[in-house]
Amino acid sequence: MNKIIWMYWHQGFDQAPQVVSPCVQQWKNLHSDWKIHLLDQNNVNEFAEPLAIKKKTLENMTLAHRSDLIRTQLLIKYGGVWVDPTCFPIQKLDSWLPENMQSGFFFFYKPGRGRIISNWFIAAEKNNLVLKALYDALIAYWNNNNFNNLGRPDTFFEKQLNRLVNRNLVFPKLWFTFFFTKVLKVYPYMVYHFMLYQLISKRKDIKQQFEKMPKQAAESTHHLQRAGMMKVLNLDIKEIIDEGKVPMFKLTWKTHQNKIPQNSNLAYLFNQKKKR
């Protein structure tokens, strides 16, 4: 796998929230021998090809869904690691990732009852079969359908529909049926995750590759966020950080405080200078 790390903040990293800068710096601290590309709306096209999606659809797609396609395309074209810039690494990639790359790709596993993977961190070899199939399926999905909820917030009915359908791994297959795509004309926010499971269910070659991927639970990477980033330092969180028990923490930029409290979980994390 090429030693490349891809990060993207649409408005530019100088405009990113306060959580982002320490995360980016830690990736640099731990990975001086990796090439790190910090992408935004102004330089992303230096690496990514224009998305082959109908103009009107592309203009109305959310930034999150466009980003899903950009990250997948970059990994297919160049390989390496995509990581959201709200992730703070605890361990060096070289210390844990190679042993998890038997399938030529890696996702953290089962972040929720309806999702088989997280896509805020993806590692892949160049031209990976699974990512290519996923990318092609998503491009076709956006091009072959005209969704009523594209470019606007979901209605009350659509929100209830998501709650009803997204309750396990099997029910979300309904999103790809004729009734949902052509009659209701609605798509789910987690379409990336559901589409991958759809491919695993339908294609033996992709299922075999996914089964070979070591299953490292996504749950552990959310410990700090669930404990409360701005809350007083939790002893369990301190132990996880001190002993490097997880590869990284997935954080969120959506905080209600302008300053990080000095005695908080997040402040303790950001003050760690250790290289593992």
**Phi-psi category of residue 200: left, alpha or beta, with phi > 0 → left and psi -120 to 50 → alpha:** alpha
CA distance 96 to 175: 35
User: Whose CA is closest to 18, among 263, 253, 261?
Assistant: 253
Pairing of strands 4-8, 35-39: parallel
pLDDT band at 5 (very low <50, low <70, confident <90, very high): very high
Q: Is the pLDDT of residue 156 over 60?
A: yes
Query: Model confidence over 226-258: pLDDT tens digits?
Result: 999 999 999 999 999 999 999 999 999 988 777
Q: Is the pLDDT of residue 73 over 90?
A: yes
Q: Is the pLDDT of residue 37 over 80?
A: yes
pLDDT band at 273 (very low <50, low <70, confident <90, very high): low
Task: Say if CB 14 and CB 77 are below 8 A apart.
Answer: no
CA distance 130 to 135: 9
User: Exposed e or buried b for every residue in 6-19, given b needs 16+ CB within 10 A?
Assistant: bbbbeeeeeebeeb
pLDDT of residue 88: 97
User: What residue ranges do the domains of the chain occupy?
Assistant: 4-146+191-270
**Overall fold of domain 4-146+191-270:** Spore Coat Polysaccharide Biosynthesis Protein SpsA; Chain A (3.90.550)
pLDDT of residue 179: 97
pLDDT of residue 272: 78
Q: Is the pLDDT of residue 4 over 60?
A: yes
